[in-house]
A = this chain, B = another copy of it.
Amino acid sequence: MITGAVRTMASGRQRATNFELRHLRYFVALVEERNFERAALRLGIAQPGLSQQIFSLEAIVGLPLLDRSKRSVNLTPTGQALYEDATKIIAQADATLSLIRRVGRGEKGRITVGYVASASYSGILTEMLGSFRRSLPDIELQLFEMEMRQQLQRIKDGDIDFGYIRPPAPIPSDLETTTVLKEPLVVAMPAGHPLASRTAIKLLDLRDDVFITPRQPPDVGFHANTLSACGEAGFKPKLDLNGRDFTTIASMIAVGLGIALVPHSMNCFGLPGVRYVPLVDNEITTDLAVVYRKKEASPAVRAFITHHRDLSGQRRTKNRMHGKSLT
Tally of chain A residues near chain B (CB < 8 A): 35
CA distance A19 to B104 in the complex (A): 17
Closest to A75 in B: B297
Main secondary structure of the interface of A (DSSP, over half): helix
Residues of B within 8 A of A99 (CB): 81, 85
Complex contact B92–A89 (CB within 8 A): yes
Whole-angstrom distance between the Cβ of A50 and the nearest chain B Cβ: 15
Hey, what's the 0/1 contact readout for A83-101 against B, CB within 8 Å counting as 1? 0011011001100110111
At the interface, yes or no: A61 with Cβ under 8 Å from chain B?
yes
Residues of B contacting A20 in the complex (Cβ-Cβ under 8 angstroms): 20-22
Q: Tell whether, in the assembled complex, residue B297 and residue A100 are in contact, meaning their CB atoms are under 8 Å apart.
A: no
Judge if A278 is at the interface, Cβ distance under 8 Å. Answer: no
In angstroms, Cα B78 to Cα A81, docked, is: 33
Once the chains are docked, how many angstroms separate the CA of A101 from the CA of B65?
Answer: 11
Q: Which residues of B contact A19 (CB under 8 A)?
A: 21, 93, 97
* A100: chain B residues within 8 A (beta carbon): 61, 63, 78, 81-82, 85
Residues of B near A86 (CB, < 8 A) are: 96
A184 to B108 Cα, complex, angstroms: 72
Give the distance in Å from the alpha carbon of A192 to the alpha carbon of B264 in the complex.
Answer: 99
Q: Which of B18, B22, B63, B299 contacts A104 (CB 8 A)?
A: B63
A59 interface residue per 8 A CB criterion: no
B residues in contact with A77, CB < 8 Å: 103, 109, 297-301
A76 at the B interface (CB under 8 A): yes
**CB contact list, A226-252 vs B, under 8 A:** none
Bound Cα distance from A302 to B298, whole angstroms: 56
Chain A, residues 252-288, CB within 8 Å of chain B (1/0): the string is 0000000000000000000000000000000000000
19 pairs, A vs B, C-beta closer than 8 Å: A20-B22, A61-B97, A61-B100, A62-B101, A63-B100, A63-B101, A63-B103, A63-B104, A76-B298, A77-B103, A77-B299, A77-B301, A81-B99, A81-B103, A81-B108, A85-B92, A89-B89, A89-B92, A89-B96
Pairs A-B, 8 closest by C-beta atoms = A63-B104, A77-B298, A85-B96, A81-B103, A20-B20, A81-B100, A82-B100, A78-B104
